[in-house]
Amino acid sequence: MQNWEKGELGKFVTLKRGFDLPQQKRDSGEIPIFSSSGITGMHSKTMVKAPGVITGRYGTIGQVFFSSKDFWPLNTTLFVEDFHGNDEKFVYYFLKTLNWENFASASAVPGINRNTVHKELVCFPDIKSQKKIAGILSLLDDKIETNQNINDNLQQQAKALYAEMFLGSSNDDVISGTLSDIAVITMGQSPSGSSYNEDGVGEVFYQGRAEFGFRFPKRRLFTTEPKRMAETGDVLLSVRAPVGDLNVAYERCCIGRGLGAIHSKTGHSSFVLYTMFALRSQLDVFNGEGTVFGSINRDALNAIPIDIPPVTEINQFEAVAHPIDELIRANYEENCRLEAIRDSLIPKLMSGEIDVSAVQL
């Protein structure tokens, strides 16, 4: 660890608390508003110049965000006010290695005091090494972001095709039906809490929207006592608190009471998926105006009215949409591998275990 300097974190970066911005004072604009959980809105006024690094002070603790645009950090956050000449991207990755929970107070509403964080003993390499380390990690993150953007675009293309073929169609061959005509619905049932684990033992278990990512749910829990199962390709629907969030099961998995699994009766998994996207506005009514916790049961799901096009048209849609969905899945799986590589590299690079002095970028 030659050319690494040891000292308190406050020697290398200065953190500052974010700023109040009540909802009624926010207006439309292009300036991202950061809360402790990331971007939660946009505003017309800048409070901090880019580049910026932000983390949670109250609420969600432990996530670290990088902003390449001027931004407004809310008072639930801490942001880097002064990088002291260090590389901004390196600081971003370095702060991700800290155990932020250790800095949280033991009060009823845990929070982080920046002065406590400033006293943490750390080691920083020279600026040349910082830039190399940040460059290596940024290459991985850039590829992940590219794949995510491709997937967003692919999904929008499939939605547009579905809308063109099936929404507002005047085709006389379309028949009126219900969701139960095209799908079998399984409502989740939570297994015993004692069977939960994060060690990969048993079946993958999803409880609800907390695990949902762009398209596929994030593996977090497993269970050795699965009750209700979803099959590969089933649409996963959040059926409570709130109703309507959608995802796809990319493997056979156990589903808890917060989820329903919607399985195509005819193998037209993409058609069912984009039908569910089109039904989002109908599902919103089950959340109830002014309520926090909405819910929907199996009978109500089965009875949702839909228009059913001829099977020849469904086959035409499936022939285009299914390869798109397969490409989305391939990009997602590549991102999972890239994220695993990145996450394994970060602590090794930040500790000097991997020497980057000879790396050419």
First to last CA, the chain: 20
Q: Per-residue pLDDT averaged across 196-222, rounded?
A: 88
Among positive and negative, which fits the CA dihedral 144, 127, 64, 18? negative
Across 263-288, average pLDDT = 90
pLDDT at 280: 87
How confident is the model over 310-359, as pLDDT tens digits? 999 999 999 999 999 999 999 999 999 999 999 999 999 998 898 887 66
- Structural domains in the chain, CATH included, are 4-125 (3.90.220.20), 175-308 (3.90.220.20)
Between 208 and 140, residue with greater pLDDT: 140
Contacts of 176 (CB under 8 A, 6+ apart): 305, 306, 307, 308
- Encoding tokens for residue 145? 């972001």
Q: Provide mean pLDDT across the span 167-187.
A: 89
pLDDT for the residue 287: 75
β-partners of residue 74 are: 19
Residue 358, pLDDT score: 64
Q: How far apart are CA 13 and CA 229, in angstroms?
A: 48
What's the pLDDT band for 171 if we cut at 50, 70, 90? Answer: confident
What is the pLDDT, as a whole number, of residue 102?
86
Looking at residue 248, its amino acid is V
Predicted local confidence at residue 42, as pLDDT? 94
361 neighbors 133 (Cβ within 8 angstroms):
no
Burial class of 49 by CB neighbour count within 10 A (0 to 12, 13 to 18, 19+): exposed
pLDDT of residue 285: 75
pLDDT band at 107 (very low <50, low <70, confident <90, very high): low
Check residue 290 and give its pLDDT.
Answer: 47
pLDDT tens per residue, range 59-91: 888 899 999 999 999 999 999 999 999 999 999
Pick from 56, 124, 58, 139: which is nearest to 91 by CA? 124
